[in-house]
Amino acid sequence: MYAGPVQDLIDELARLPGIGPKSAQRIAFHLLKLPAEDALRLARAIGEVKARITVCRSCFNVSEGELCQICADDRRDTTLVCVVEEPRDIVAIERTQEFRGRYHVLQGAINPIEGVGPEQLRVKELLARLEAEAIAEVILCTNPNIEGEATAMYLARLLAPLGVKTTRIASGLPVGGDLEYADELTLGRALQGRREVDA
């Protein structure tokens, strides 16, 4: 529809989550109007993040080194692990200042419709950490929606025979929502009020 490079940019933008063809066009034309230095700052930020950021080899959080800042911090309680779907959930939980353990990022949630099963998630890696790190409690902090609940139930059943205490954050979070949109107070209370799961 448009000259090659413009169409390429629109196509790339349209592949981003939450951006439809119309928004992609709007953003592309916004970038076209910007002074070159402003537009290139965005390109450079993408380049930097791809060059310098990897995933933590222990918890799969985003990281600048082999271990993320949280895993590398020896003041954190190593016996507690909070299982989340995405790195952005860690940011939400850290904001509550209610949790001093470590995390484990599943990199998604069970979603049969989209073909995501436990094998696509970092479940094996979680099991490997339980023993290696002498973890005493696993807190299931997946989102309070269908996929998050299904993932929490799956993990609770998997962990039950292993003798590790498994808890789920308390209800009170908006059902169907995402952790990252919960306010700090609500999320903090949900963490404090976590209960042991009967699998």
Q: Which residues bind Zn ion (CB under 5 A)?
A: 56, 58-59, 61, 68, 71
- Tracing tokens 């998050």 back to the chain, one arrives at 148
How far is Cα 55 from Cα 62, in angstroms, rounded to an integer? 5
How far is Cα 85 from Cα 98, in angstroms, rounded to an integer? 18
Nearer to Zn ion, 101 or 148 (CB): 101
- Please name the residues in contact with 192: beta carbons below 8 A apart, sequence gap of 6 or more: 98, 170
Nearer to Zn ion, 9 or 71 (CB): 71
Query: Shortest distance, CB of residue 181 to Zn ion, whole angstroms?
Result: 23
How far is Cα 39 from Cα 29, in angstroms, rounded to an integer? 11
How far is Cα 101 from Cα 24, in angstroms, rounded to an integer? 40
Which ranges in 73-133 belong to alpha helices (H)?
A: 87-96, 123-132
97 φψ region: left (φ > 0), alpha (ψ -120 to 50), beta (else): left
Nearer to Zn ion, 12 or 73 (CB): 73
Query: Shortest distance, CB of residue 47 to Zn ion, whole angstroms?
Result: 24
Query: Shortest distance, CB of residue 121 to Zn ion, whole angstroms?
Result: 16
Nearer to Zn ion, 71 or 190 (CB): 71
Query: Shortest distance, CB of residue 49 to Zn ion, whole angstroms?
Result: 17
Query: Shortest distance, CB of residue 60 to Zn ion, whole angstroms?
Result: 7
Nearer to Zn ion, 86 or 147 (CB): 86
